[in-house]
Amino acid sequence: MKHIGGINISEGFVSSVNVNPEGGVPKNSVNSAKLFVDGVEGDLQKDTKHHGGPERAVCLFSSELMNELNREGHKFHPGSVGENLTISGIDWSLMDTGIRLSVGDSVIEITNPASPCSTIQHVFSDHSFSRISQKKNPGWSRWYARVIKEAEVFKGDFVSIFYSED
C-alpha cells in the first residue's frame, strides 16, 4: 500500500475478465470487455431482479480469496461464481461501499456486496454458498460496482483502490 497526499492506494491487476452471453454461471474468460453504465459487454443477466443494472453493472471477486477457498476443498476458478472481473493483488479487506477503483481506463465504484445464491452452490464442496456471504463471513464476498467511466477492460490491466483518510 502506498501513501499519496492523504489517499491510500492498494494496487493489483485484472487476472480474468469473465462474461456469459447466455446469462448465468459460470462466466467464461475473455481477453477484454467494455464496462458500460448498465453492464458488461457480452454478459447477459437472466435474473434482473437480483443481478445487473446500473447499481450492479460489474461483479468483482478476489483471486487470492479463490485460492484460499480452493485450499479449503472448494472448486473455484475465474468466473465460477459469476464475477465479471477476477482481481489479483488488491487488499480485499479494503472493499466497501463507496470505494472507487480504476480498472485500466475505467473507473468503478463499489455499491454493495453480492449476496450468494444457490446457482453457485456447485462450486462449494459442501454446497454451502453462504461461505462467501458478507453477512455470515465478512471480507469473503464478491462485490457489485457501478460504472463511473466506461471503457474497455483487458486481462492484465492495472487496478487501484482509492479512498480518503478520515
Which pLDDT value is given to residue 3?
A: 39
**Given 2.40.33.20, 2.60.40.60, 3.30.9.100, 2.10.10.90, which CATH number is that of 2-164?**
2.40.33.20
Residue at 73: amino acid letter: G
Torsion angle (degrees, nearest 10) of CA 91, 92, 94, 98: 130
Decide if 75 contacts 123 (C-beta within 8 A): yes
Does 2 score more than 70 pLDDT?
no
Distances (CA, A) of 148 to 31, 77, 130, 131, 161: 22, 28, 30, 30, 14
Domain ranges of the chain: 2-164
How much is the pLDDT for 51? 67
> Within 13 A of 83's CA, how many CA atoms are on the CB side?
27
Give per-residue pLDDT as tens, 33-89: 999 999 999 998 776 666 678 899 999 999 999 999 999 999 999 999 999 999 999
The per-residue pLDDT for range 94-132, each reduced to its tens digit, is 999 999 999 999 999 999 999 998 999 999 999 999 999
SS3 19: strand
Cβ atoms of 96 and 74 within 8 Å: the answer is no
